Structures are given as C-alpha cells and as structure tokens.
Structure 1
Amino acid sequence: MHLAFVLGTRPEIIKLSSLICACIERGIRYTLIHTNQHYAANMDRLFFKELELPLAHFNLRVGSDVAQVQVKRMVMGIEPILQAMKPDYVIVQGDTNSSLAGGLAARKANIPIAHVEAGLRSFDKTMPEETNRIALDHMSNFWFCPSALQVELLASEGIEGRNVHITGNTGNDATLRYAQAAQANTDILERLGLRAERYLLLTCHRPSNTDDIAHFTTLIEAVQRLAAARSRPVIFPVHPRLGLKHWQIIERSSLIKTTDPLGYIDMLALVQGADLVMTDSGGLQEEACVLQRRCLVLRDNTERPESLDCGGSRLAPVETETSLIEAADELLHSRVTWSNPFGDGQAGQRILQVLLNDFGTGKP
C-alpha cells in the first residue's frame, strides 16, 4: 500500500504526525507533499523537527496568495506528482486550502480520498474553512471522524456507510504524546519572564477577527482591559498574516507581550501554564480542553462543540471593549467537569488500519 499525504500548514503537520509516524513504524510506503502554505520557518520546518518527522518528499513552495490563486497553484503542483507516484490513497486533513487542493487533485487523478477530521461543521458559511470542509467531505471516499457527532452530521448530508469511521482526533494523538515532554523540555516561561498560572495566552488569526481593522481594534482593547482586570500579562504569538496596521494597534496595549510564531513544544508548554486561553483557533480549543485549561473562544460559533460541553470553554465573540471581562468572569465561576472527548491518542493507528484493511479487499 502506498499513501500520499498532502499538507501545508502548522495544524496539518501536527494533526497528521501520528499517522505519518504510524506509517514509518509499520513500514508503509508514503509520499509527503507539502504545499508550503505556511511558509515561515517557525510555522513549518521547526514542526517537522519537533514532531520527529522526515521532511517532505515534495515542497511546492506556494506561499501566500488569495485563495483562488493559491488553490489553483497547489492543484497544478500536486496533480502531476500523483500521476507520477500513483498512490493508492490520498490523505488530507481538516479544512485548509492545502487539503482542498489535495482533494481536488486526487479527484482529477481518480485516486480515493481519505479525509481526516471529517464531518466538522460550524454552520457558518462565511468561514472559508466551512466551505472547504463541506466540499472535501462531499468528494471524499473515506471519512475519519473525531466523535459520533460528526457521523451524525455527515449522515444528515447523505454521507454514510462502511467508510465512515469514528477514530478520535489525530490532533489529540499529538497533544497526549508531547504534553509532558513540553513541560520538561522547554524554558519558554523563563525566556518570557512568566510564572505558571500568572499570564493569559492569546492567539488570533481568523479573517472574522482580523480583516476588519475596527473590529480588531475592539478585540485588542477588550484583551487589554481583561488583562488589567485580572492583573495578568498577555502572551500573543502573532500570526504572519497580520500586517502593519495590526501591529500598530497591538503595540498600543501595554499588557500584551508579542512573540514570533512559536514551535509546537513551546506552545504546548504555554497552554499548560496559562491562567486563561483566548483563541479563535479550533486546534487550540481542543488542546485547552484536553490539557484542562479554561478557554474563551473568540467566535460566535465553533465546529468543535465538544470543547464547550465540559464547561471549561465558552464562546466569547468580542462585541464591546468589556466583552471579555464579562465572559471570563462567567467562565471562572462556571462548573467544569473536565473530560477528553477527542479520543485516546490512537486515532492515527486506527486510520492506518482501516486503509490497510480496505487495501486488502481490493475494493477502494
């Protein structure tokens, strides 16, 4: 059996790492195609090193561009590789432009598509990710769902049958594997002058929070006011897509300490030490839940409602400069029953076994 992985972003590297490692451990042939959608070294090469992964066989170096151009360039780069390598399955993860391009190229090459983290829905079609994940689910041949909820959502769209599987989330595989090592093997708190439980952690990159500069200004002011109310500094690893205007707004906030994008191990350690996590990232929502950190989700919807069910996370769209103070107070006093709804850390092994079994039948 020969698998082709298409990835291009930090979350995909993390969330496919356990499946790639499973291939290596079991001697399964694979080809790794990297679109380089995330082109900053500290959002790319560092993750391969920390997650103990060999570098990609092919790097398309697509970089940043508007979505339509980016996807077109990716498909044009991926399709001839698939035609030449002739893998038995193409593996894509999540909802990025890279995963969509991988699915489109595989469909054109008539190769079965396996969608990891299938069935997620925010029900917000203004999100580019929602469009990507729906399109991918409706062109895929195998669907690997984190939980039973996604199986139900797929069935409501007419996608069901023997190739829909509940596997747990591969992102959770990485969290469980590296959480303890992250605390032991990084000095990130010392480097940033932090004490555990005495800082807030912020990430923010989605267009809904960053494209409208007026809204971004309100969000940063809300973070600043929360930090003042809690007497805590805020650590903000700034995503490369934020520009000069964003930086000018951030720099006016005395309690927000910015960093360059951080490696996976450093971020895991920061999450574990944070008094509160604020994020619009789906993956970080999961990590906060698994690592039992209270989390404000800076959105009015989420494709990961499981992270809300234990009470440790809550939706907190920023509408006014005091929104986060109110949301944090409610979260602080809410009853939390910590649980891990994202699996036991063996999702990658389960996915690989499903594909091995299918390959053995000769019926993709």
Structure 2
Amino acid sequence: MQTVLPARSVAVVLGTRPELVKLAELIRVLGPAARVVHTGQHYDEELSGGFLDELGLPEPAYLTGVGGQPRAVQIAAALHGLDALFAAEPPLAVVVQGDTNAALAGALAANARDLPLVHVEAGLRSHDRAMPEEHNRVLVDRLADVLCAATPDNRELLLAEGVPEERITVTGNPVVEAVRDHLPSADARGRLLAAHGLTADGYVLATVHRPENTDDERALTAVLTELAGLARELPVVLPLHPRTRARIEAAGLLPLLDGVTVLPPAGYGTFLALARHAALIVSDSGGVQEETTVLGRPLVVVRNSTERPESLADFAELVDPGPAIGAAARRRLAEGPPGLRHLATLPSPYGDGTASRRIAALIAKTVAARTSTAPKREHAALAA
C-alpha cells in the first residue's frame, strides 16, 4: 500500500550501488511521492547504470562533478548540488541510507534547509575511527529526525549516545526484502551455475573492494594469495570491482588471479544467485554481511572491524588479511552440508522483510506532523 503523500515530496538521496539496492523497495512503496536524487558517487556504468533497470527504479535526477573525487570534494559537490535542488523544489522530507558520502551530503543539505531527515540503517557502529564511514554514520545520526534502526542492538547504541528515544524506531533492514525480491528462481540459478561450470555448494565466492584491502599493497597481496590458495582446492569466483582491478594491475599482482575465475561486476540478481549456492563467501563488504544471513551461507569477513556484529553470531567470522583468511575459510568449509543446513534454519537478525513499509509509514507520519506545525514554525521564525 502506498503512503498518501504529494508527488515528488520525498527526496531519496543515494549515490552507490548498495543504496540503490536497499532503497529500491522503499522507493516503490512511496510511489509517485519519491523523488530520487543520485549524487553520482558510484559513477561507473557497470556499478550503477544497469541497476536502475534491474531494480525497476525511476530515472533519478543526477548531480555532476561528484564521482571519482576525493571524499571532501564528493561531499562538498553533492551538498552544493542538493542545496540548489532543495531550494528550487523543497521536499517535505529527505531520506538517506547508511554511511556513504552521499548520505552525509543529503543529511547536511536537509539540515541546512530545515527539512525532516529520515536515516535508514541508523545506529551502526564499528567504533573504528579509521573508517570514513564511521564518521559519516555518526554525523548523519546526530542530524536525523527519524532514525530507522535495523536491530534492537542498533537502537541501544543510539540511546547510549544520547539520541532521544522518540526519534528511534526498530524497523528491520530493507536488505531482507531486497534479497527476497531479487533472488532469481531455482531454474535461473541452475542455468547460471552451469554457464560458469560451477556446482552448487562446491565453490567459494569472493569480493574485494574496500580501501583498507585495495589501497594497501601488502593487504591486497595477502588477500589474493589466500584466494589463490583456496582456488587450488576448489573453484574461487571473484566478480572484480573496477577499482580493485586497477589496484591489482598497478601493483603487478595479476598472476595471483591465474587460478581464480574472474567475472565482471555482477548484477544484483546474478550476485545473489552465486552467493545462494556458494559453499563459502569471502568478502569485505558490509552489505554482504547482511545478505548472507538471508541466504543462509557462511562468510569470512576480511576487515579490521565491523559495524554489523549481529552477523558474527552464527553466519560470519571476522579476520585480518593474511593466513587467517585461509584458516577461517577451511574451518567453515569443513562444516560441510550439515553446517549449510543449520544456517538455512536460522532467521536473519535484520528483520522480517517488511522494513520498507514501516519506514514509509514513519515518513508519512513525520510529514504530517511537520505540516501540522508549519504555521507555528513560520510564525516563530518571523518573530525571531
């Protein structure tokens, strides 16, 4: 059921592939009320362009001069563009998701124009100040009027930081419905595996894209060395992020990929299909930590820290780049079919697949409350 909101009244600001995925269902629920603004943070056509069609999203308004820039320039350029858009056509609310530069720019633009800000996936914390995303998510949470916490633990973290209880709602994470909506049928998955010469539960799927692993040559070498070692025991499939490929080439590490099945960046459905039947996933992605809990697959997380400890309880193990990757991978692979069957019985800690409808209802409630007090707010502003 669509919320009753005026057309183009809710600005949904996004800029990366994970945001497109996680906000797709909310955009559909909002219907004509959604006004999608893409900052261009992910500017590669392989990473974002095809996703609009695959996810059934309307063509966004695009900002220019953001993609490929340093972090500060990205945020400043996106903020400048968003402020101009919001001045020309003020929305009744602004929605951002997660911890990207696009999310922070959207939050700052909403705050500058005194627009209600809704933060989807609020309350994630790695407590790692070396992560730019940690700074982004903390700042967005401080600015948000409505904080949509994915889990009760996220809510408790926000309360501990002094966020007023009335601003926080545990909604679940939209990733659950995203996975359920876009996982291809069993027949389509079977055809995909056959096309790549893969057997269900007989290969490892890997992704590597985070700067802590790609910008540090020693870390990148360690990750690829461990994947190459695993590839001598069973197939390793690596959809390769263009930025990661560039780093591998620059470091002269292409020979480490000789035994690995390298694929171009995968569409979302393709990635889910590969993940659904992998015996193990090795990744540094935050979103993959969530998706594996819906798919019921084991994961080795190659990162210094994680803001998603809920995944670590049953589905994932956190390791540093190096021999720990291979050790953890072989431990999970040794669990075999019984381990996979056990994971398949566990519910995802990220909710029941209705997060987008809850968030849409919160947006409608927030807009109604703001609209009802608008005359008082305008009078107070004039008096000041």
TM-score, normalising length: structure 1: 0.92
**1:293 shift after superposition:** 0.8
Asked whether the equivalents of residues 95 and 117 of structure 2 are also in contact (C-alpha less than 8 Å), the reply is: yes
Could you say what the CA RMSD is over the residues aligned between the two structures, in angstroms?
1.9
2:176 is the counterpart of 1:175: no
1:351 aligns with 2:356: no
Q: Structure 1 363/267 Cα, relative in aligned 2: closer, same or farther at 3 Å?
A: farther
**How many residues are aligned here?**
356
Deviations 1:306-327 (A, max 9, x none): 1111x221112123xx322211
Paired residue for 2:272? 268
* Corresponding residue for residue 315 of structure 2: 312
- Corresponding residue number in structure 2 for 1:297: 301
| 1:251 CA displacement | 3.5
The aligned counterpart of 1:4 is 11
Alpha-carbon distance, 1:37 to partner:
1.1
Distance 1:116 1:183 in 2: 33
Seen in structure 2, the aligned counterparts of structure 1 residues 244 and 292 have a Cα distance that, compared at 3 Å, is same
Describe the superposition over 1:262-304 as per-residue Cα deviations: whole angstroms up to 9, x where unpaired.
Answer: 1111101010121110001010111111101111001132111
Contact 2:173 2:355 (8 Å CA) reproduced: yes
Match of 1:242 in 2: 244
Change (3 A) 1:163 1:186: farther
- Select which of 228, 248, 259 maps to 1:224: 228
Tell me the distance in 1 between the aligned counterparts of 2:125 and 2:65: 30
1:184-223 to structure 2, matched below 5 A, reads 184=188, 187-223=191-227
For the Cα contact (< 8 Å) 1:250–1:256, is it kept in 2?
Answer: no
| Rounded Cα–Cα distance in structure 1 between residues aligned with 2:172 and 2:352 | 7
- In 2, the alpha carbon distance for the partners of 1:42 and 1:313 equals 28
Distance 1:7 1:165 in 2: 21
For 2:327 and 2:116, the matched residues in 1 are separated by 48
CA distance in 2 between counterparts of 1:59 and 1:318 reads 36
The 5-angstrom pairing of residues 143-158 of structure 1 reads 143-158=147-162
Query: Residue 15 in 1 paired to residue 16 in 2?
Result: no
Whichever of the two has the greater Rg, that structure is: 2
Contact between 1:120 and 1:304, CA under 8 Å: does it hold in 2?
yes
The answer to whether the Cα contact below 8 Å between 1:182 and 1:268 also exists between their aligned partners in 2 is no
Give the Å deviation of 1:180.
4.5
- TM-score of the superposed pair, with normalisation by structure 2: 0.88
The answer as to whether partners of 2:184 and 2:269 remain within 8 angstroms in 1 is no
Query: For 1:155 and 1:187, how far apart are their aligned partners in 2?
Result: 48
Greater helix content? 2
Q: Please give the per-residue CA displacement for 1:179-207, whole angstroms capped at 9, x wherever unaligned.
A: 24486378432332222222111111111
Q: Which moved more, 1:335-344 or 1:32-41?
A: 335-344
C-alpha offsets along residues 55-110 of structure 1, whole Å, 9 cap, x if unaligned? 11344362111101111111111111011111111000000111111111111111
Query: 1:134-171: CA deviations, max 9, x gaps?
Result: 11111111100111000100011111222210000011
Over 3 Å counting, the alpha-carbon distance change for 1:132 and 1:215 in structure 2 is same
Are 1:200 and 1:235, in contact at CA under 8 Å, matched by a contact in 2?
Answer: yes
Structure 2: which 5+ residue stretches go unaligned?
375-384
Q: State the partner residue of 1:139.
A: 143
Tell me the distance in 1 between the aligned counterparts of 2:145 and 2:308: 23
1:339 to 347, 351, 359: 347
Report the equivalent of 2:382.
none
Counterpart amino acid of residue 91 in structure 1: V
- CA distance in 1 between counterparts of 2:148 and 2:256 reads 44
Matches within 5 A, 1:39-54: 39-54=43-58
Shift of 1:213: 0.7
Distance 1:139 1:343 in 2: 25
How many angstroms apart in 1 are the aligned matches of 2:37 and 2:217? 35
**Counterpart amino acid of residue 261 in structure 2:** K
- Counterpart residue number, 1:323: 324
The answer to whether residue 138 in structure 2 is matched with residue 120 in structure 1 is no
Q: Does 1:63 align with 2:55?
A: no
Q: Which runs of 5+ in 1 are unaligned?
A: none
Contact 1:186 1:265 in 2 (8 A): no
Q: Distance in 1 between matches of 2:242 and 2:63?
A: 20
